Structure 1
């Protein structure tokens, strides 16, 4: 067998301000630079790229793009080479089936779970360019809350759907229709593939669009909305969240850091939403709210 001598460029970047929204922008910037995968390792965001024609220029350009995306000039960047074979094995080695709730198990295609209970919901999802795997605290928080609140027959909107994992979960939990809204073209492509792979293409529709309050209201009324996006992006959508929900409808807000939570909760409550459950996962907060009137 001929050994694969092709190389990946491994780029490691870190924000000087830990626990800030800029970390989300950093990960998003890596994806838009063409990363074949992004994972967090002890505060560093590690990504892999096809070997560029001019590696030095690519690293320099990447630093400039990421600095502009985050508004920081002191981003730390390291790089090294990984053989294709080594990268694939390293990437897969740390990823296997993960039981997120009593019923939801997320797994990559190369490691299907064994001995699933008949009531278990297995979601097949390979790591890739779209945000949203069970490796991130916000995704896990949303999955836990979805598992507790989705009822058979619910109509759901997934705002910033990324990989489609939350849309898939909602459909598998019984939602009759899910509108997945995502402005990133690559994420939409990944989501459509994941949705088909999980057999929920009839229930889930992916639309390439950045959500607005008006677009949410136009899609309503619905029984539930899940929004796993940055706290700053949630703010202008709050009126749309409430108006798109039926009376008694539920809203899951995530992508909120610990120091942002109080303000986010107060703004939601001032808009007529009542906090029902707070989920905490490391520094991340996810809240389940209801429209009571």
Structure 2
């Protein structure tokens, strides 16, 4: 429930009011910017809200219970803080948007009326429409573990426990040539065997994608150079000369955890879990049904 300060409640009780809406957008990296549908800048709550951005909001509603409420915010890409390249690169995905009701004559009189996260964004003709989802959407997704044979931890995280700072599990290089839209010939990884970085994470350290990470789909050797196939992404594109760091890849199997990383005690999957193929199998020549482990 929205809590209105006494001064704003008094103002709203008048026959004529001077209120407007303001939005504060906070990206996942913590960078915040403010926008308002008023025609002059407004400063409150340690944020400067920029006018003339073309921001308009659709009808909003708040439901009781656990229903997910949505509201659209439409705006023009006319602000220095909102550029098409950043939206395309996904920098606004899952960003937090706070909606304020504020008395523009006395900006100190304001109330936070909604906090939501950005869902789908559509763009056309220099404009964008962002769908804002209430925080209830976090309940509409899996939040527990799945029982699968594969590990559900990320290599190097707290649950995995593997130290990626060890020698031989991290590399650095630079783009030498572009082979295909998502295939790069790179230098600097000559000491690593083929497939060592397959399923690993490559983080760009320069260029248009600096600071962003891509998943390595395939890693091959080609003489003194390496061929890296990356998962297709939107946003800025790497070019020749861009540098990167990359960590060894893990295919989430127990065999790789044991042989490649010697980390089997921290394996977060269930490698001995029989699947449907085992449950419904029947005795045939050449198969062993002795109750032994599926994974040695």
Larger helix proportion, structure 1 or 2? 1
Whether TM-score is above 0.5 comes out as no
TM-score, normalized by length of structure 1?
Answer: 0.26
Mark the structure with the bigger radius of gyration.
2
